[in-house]
Amino acid sequence: MFLNHKPNRPATYGEANRDIIRVLLSPSMGYFALLALVTTLMIYGGYSWYMQLRYGLGVAGITHPNMWGVYIVTFVFWVGIGHAGTLISAILYLVRSKWRTGVYRASEAMTVFAVMTALLFPVLHLGRAWQMYWFFPYPNQRYLWVNFKSPLMWDVFAISTYFTVSAVFFFIGLVPDIAIVRDHSKGAIRKVYSLLSLGWAGTGRQWHHYMAAYGFFAALAAPLVLSVHSVVSWDFAVAITAGWHSTIFPPYFVAGAIFSGCAMVITLLLPLTIAFKWEKYVNIWHFEQLAKMCLLTSGILTYAYATEYFVGWYSQNPYEWQIFAWRATGEYAWAFWTMVICNCVAPLPWYIPSLRRNPWVLFIVSIFINIGMWFERFNIVVSSLSHNFDPSTWWYYWPSEVEWGIMIGSFGWFGFWFLLFLQALPAVAIAEIKELIAPPVKGALEAK
Amino acid sequence: MSSYDQKVQAAIASVKGRSLPAKARTLALAGIAWGVIGLAYGFFAGEKSWTLGALLVSVFYFMCMGQGAMMFSVVLTGTLARWGRPLKRIAEMLAFTLPVTYIALVVFFVLGGLGVYEWAPHNLVTPDGHAIGLEPHAPGALAAKPFWLSSGFFIARQLIGFGILLVLDVMFIRSSLRPDLILAKQTLGNEAPAWWDRIIGGKTDVQAEAEATAYRGQWMTPVMGLSYAVFFSLLTFDLIMSMDAWWFSNMFGGWVFMSSLWLGMATIAFVITMGREWLGLGEWVSKATTHDLGKLMLAGTMFWGYTLYAQLLPIWYADVPEETNYLLVRMMLPEWSWLSKVVAITCFIAPFTILLSRGVKKMRWPFAAVAMLIMLGVFLERSLLVMPSAWRSEFLTLDFIIVNFGVWFGMGGLVTLWFGKYMSEVPAVPVADEYLKDDPWEVHVHSLDEAHGHH
């Protein structure tokens, strides 16, 4: 049934409730093993951060001219991962795309946790993390005020707005489902779900207001999908650094973010679907749509890479052209070609229907894309700074052990929250799944 | 016969004796007359560079419109969309006007169109590759690319690039038409236009051909999308961006090809509102359809603004003279700054504000008006891109009215007559297309009514 390339449906509302709720609060040994793994990674990341706090930012490999390194690379990577959830939940909701139903809840959760992970990095990158409140404008007796002309400040506002809206949107979507879980639970845990369900009773009046609010939130969240990564791209594009100063960056970054986010949804949800036997709700048809989304965005990225090279040559600007030539042939060529192979070549097998319907091919290619998108950011951030205008400053940046540790720890942090979510909240949207089933009107099913 | 089959038969039967309405024909002929007068005035009494610039604007505009409409059909096919399927044939027939535009492009070159390009060999690039007399950074930039910006290679690139797109478009349209024409031929018999037989090619099995078309559509969609992105970007970089040979923007190609899709949608909206009776669309194009199309046009408006801003902000922030120069001429010089304000209103502020209204998207004439506003806005926007580069002097108001609008209306008239002829001779909706029917997966309340025996 999982291999069907048409959408499946459960037969009744009750079946949908039971299938999705049964995995909650019943962790298996495999779950604990995964939780132990991600916790270990998180502790390693925490230890690395402790070392940085104790000995100062100097233990990170970033120094002149590479004042941005793996922290910014990983920050952009996680912001990118955080894109697919809102795209799938808000934009596909607005265009009434049916395939979102099975996958949007897990994608939204991924978004919220990815943005939570991304938000760590500006703090980590500060060195003196306790001064992070300087990011925010607030009246104070020393008349300190943030520099609104700095794109880094735009980031603070764009990403915190995105996080707020995504988290609220995620929670609003959950309310009817939490009420279902509440109705199927007992004891103290029922009280927790009662509190979270905000008194949801599923009355016609509640649904009326709920749907209106959900539509408004979707409309509010949709432009944020474009805005947040556009603002991140302007961190680079507004500078005159060769290889960064590019007008195509905003849509190119947004497309890249959707690409990596959809690939991450495949990476996370494919094993879960098989492990939890959710084939009536999420099957190969949904993954095929995600793969198609990746193919589209991979095409946009390939177009953007090619355009940068073409215009770099066309401009005859020596600084512009040298950085593009150096990326492909210099010391970081391995990173450049990893990016090209993972982002432009690896998804190509998905053009063949039988391959994009094969779970192994889906999973393996999605891993390639995740790797490729991390290297894309590495390629942009590191190479341009290593090879800037002044040849006397050229050098080869390589991340320190502390930077690697923090980066690995960020995956642990993300995985930790995602695993907790899987056990605490329905990872498939029960209420929306029911919209695909004929309502249980007395006599209707019998008459059919 | 089901009610759906009756609608299909009515759509087929309406082909008999259909032709472009007399009013539209008269307006098209008047436009052509204005165009001829405008061109004659421009070449013999006005300024040649200005006139060639005006011709380039219109050629490029209709290239964008036709190719944008084609991509709308490609997107509908690739996404298996049902909502817009009744608009597919109109989009394809708008794209089928591209041969007219191709000929107009050839005419542009024959009339000396290269004269509007500063790099063209009117002694700005010396035979040994050294450029002279151009503005910031141009000499160095031009001297290094004499082959890319050489007349022969330039013209060949445009004709080949546009030609490849044209061939793909015709293949796609032909494939899309075939099952519909086979089905329609079964009803119309000898009353069907003779040219249908060239497309039908003796085939009679509608079902088999519809499946073959659906299969072809699935593999042609990415090919056409990729070709559109690559070749249309190249055409844009060449025909428009290279007019200021020192200036470059990575986003320029993407910005133009996405706004062309938006222009294509606006033109489709214009046709379905103005030609509702002519094409018998009342049964197919509901308020929900125009509402959905309007939402996409709103998205197009926002995307136009977004991609424009994506170019403006880094250029403004970095403040590099070789980049700002292009914008300063258009946004700060009094000769052109008024036009940039008009473009901001017609392309973004007005359509964005108006299209927020749900009612406008569902009302026939207001919706037609906003479609026309976008069409006008894109024409003015293309004019703003081209004219300050073609004519580096004061704004010629009279020439703008007589020549620029004349050529636009003239080409519009030609395109209308061509579109009117072929659109009249085919079913206005893709009658054999499975996706014209309702979605079998949709859960409707009426299905419960039927289960209860209520109708």
Amino acid at A307: T
B451 within a domain of the structure (yes/no): no
- CA–CA separation, B301 and B303 (whole Å): 5
- CA–CA separation, A67 and A61 (whole Å): 9
Q: Are the CB atoms for A409 and A44 separated by under 8 Å?
A: yes
User: What is the per-residue pLDDT across A263-293, written as a single tens digit (0 to 9) for each?
Assistant: 999 999 999 888 888 888 888 989 999 999 9
Domain count, chain B: 1
pLDDT of residue A6: 63
- CA–CA separation, B126 and B148 (whole Å): 15
B10 within a domain of the structure (yes/no): no
What is the DSSP-derived secondary structure letter of residue A24? T
Token digits of residue A448: 């059919």
pLDDT of B130 over the 70 cut: no
Whole-complex ipTM: 0.90
Amino acid at B19: S
Q: For testing the chain A interface, which of B250, B256, B307 should be mutated: the one with the most A CBs within 10 Å?
A: B250
Closest B-chain CA to A239:
B318
- CA–CA separation, B10 and B303 (whole Å): 38
User: What is the per-residue pLDDT across B341-394, written as a single tens digit (0 to 9) for each?
Assistant: 999 999 999 999 999 999 999 999 999 999 999 999 999 999 999 999 998 888
Percentage of residues in chain B having pLDDT higher than 70 = 91
Taking CA atoms, A382 is separated from A74, A403, A411, B389, in Å, by: 12, 14, 21, 38
Convert A86-110 to b/e letters by CB count within 10 Å (16 or more is b): bbbbbbbbebeebbbbbbbbbbbbb
A379 within a domain of the structure (yes/no): yes
Residue A66 bridge partners (DSSP): A63
What is the SS3 string spanning A356-408? HCCHHHHHHHHHHHHHHHHHHHHHHHHHHHHCCCCHHHCCCCCCCHHHHHHHH
User: What is the per-residue pLDDT across B217-235, written as a single tens digit (0 to 9) for each?
Assistant: 888 999 999 999 999 999 9
The average pLDDT across A316-330 equals 91
What are the φ and ψ backbone dihedral angles of B261, each rounded to 5 degrees? Answer: -60, -40
A6 within a domain of the structure (yes/no): no
Contact call for B447 and A437, based on CB within 8 A: no
CATH number at residue A381: 1.20.1630.10
Query: How far, in whole angstroms, is CA A197 from its chain's centroid?
Result: 26
Contact call for B310 and A248, based on CB within 8 A: yes
pLDDT of residue A8: 65
* Residues in contact with A244: Cβ distance below 8 Å, sequence separation at least 6, in sequence order: A236, A237, A380, A384
Amino acid at A303: Y
User: What is the per-residue pLDDT across B286-345, written as a single tens digit (0 to 9) for each?
Assistant: 999 999 999 999 999 999 999 999 999 999 999 998 889 899 999 999 999 999 999 999
pLDDT of residue A448: 41
pLDDT of residue B445: 44
Q: Are the CB atoms for A381 and A68 separated by under 8 Å?
A: yes
Percentage of residues in chain B having pLDDT higher than 90 = 80
Token digits of residue A305: 């890479």
* Residues in contact with A431: Cβ distance below 8 Å, sequence separation at least 6, in sequence order: A176, A177, A180
pLDDT of residue B184: 95
Closest B-chain CA to A227:
B306
Name the pLDDT band for A7 (thresholds 50, 70, 90).
low
What range defines the domain where residue B153 resides?
26-423
In chain A, which residues have their Cβ closer than 8 Å to the Cβ of B231?
none
Cis (ω within 30 of 0) for the bond into A347? no
B7 within a domain of the structure (yes/no): no
A158 within a domain of the structure (yes/no): yes
Contact call for B148 and A314, based on CB within 8 A: yes
Q: Could you tell me where the DSSP H helices lie in A184-283?
A: 187-196, 204-237, 249-276
Amino acid at B449: D
Closest B-chain CA to A6:
B441
Q: Could you tell me where the DSSP H helices lie in A87-203?
A: 92-94, 100-126, 151-183, 187-196
- CA–CA separation, B159 and B455 (whole Å): 58
Q: Looking at A22-26, A129-133, A256-260, B279-283, which range is the least confident one?
A: A22-26
Name the pLDDT band for B196 (thresholds 50, 70, 90).
very high
- CA–CA separation, A345 and A369 (whole Å): 10
- CA–CA separation, A83 and A81 (whole Å): 5
Tokens 């037969």 belong to A11
Average per-residue pLDDT in chain B?
A: 90
Which residue from B248, B313, B443 is facing A311, i.e. has the nearest CB? B248
What range defines the domain where residue A154 resides?
13-439
Domain count, chain A: 1
Task: Round the CA-based radius of gyration of chain A to a whole number and report it.
Answer: 23
What are the φ and ψ backbone dihedral angles of A139, each rounded to 5 degrees? Answer: -65, 130
Please tell me if residue B254 touches chain A, with a CB cutoff of 8 Å.
yes
Tally: H helices and E strands in chain B: 20, 0
A5 within a domain of the structure (yes/no): no
Please tell me if residue A437 touches chain B, with a CB cutoff of 8 Å.
yes
Please tell me if residue B148 touches chain A, with a CB cutoff of 8 Å.
yes
A1 within a domain of the structure (yes/no): no
Q: Are the CB atoms for B266 and B371 separated by under 8 Å?
A: yes
* Best CA proximity match to A320, nearest among A333, A331, A309, A332: A309
Name the pLDDT band for A225 (thresholds 50, 70, 90).
confident
In chain A, which residues have their Cβ closer than 8 Å to the Cβ of B453?
447
Number of Cβ atoms within 10 Å of the Cβ of A43: 12
Average per-residue pLDDT in chain A?
A: 89
- CA–CA separation, B313 and B319 (whole Å): 10
Contact call for B306 and A226, based on CB within 8 A: yes
* Best CA proximity match to B233, nearest among B252, B248, B261: B252
B368 within a domain of the structure (yes/no): yes
Tally: H helices and E strands in chain A: 18, 0
The average pLDDT across B167-181 equals 96
Q: Are the CB atoms for A422 and A273 separated by under 8 Å?
A: no
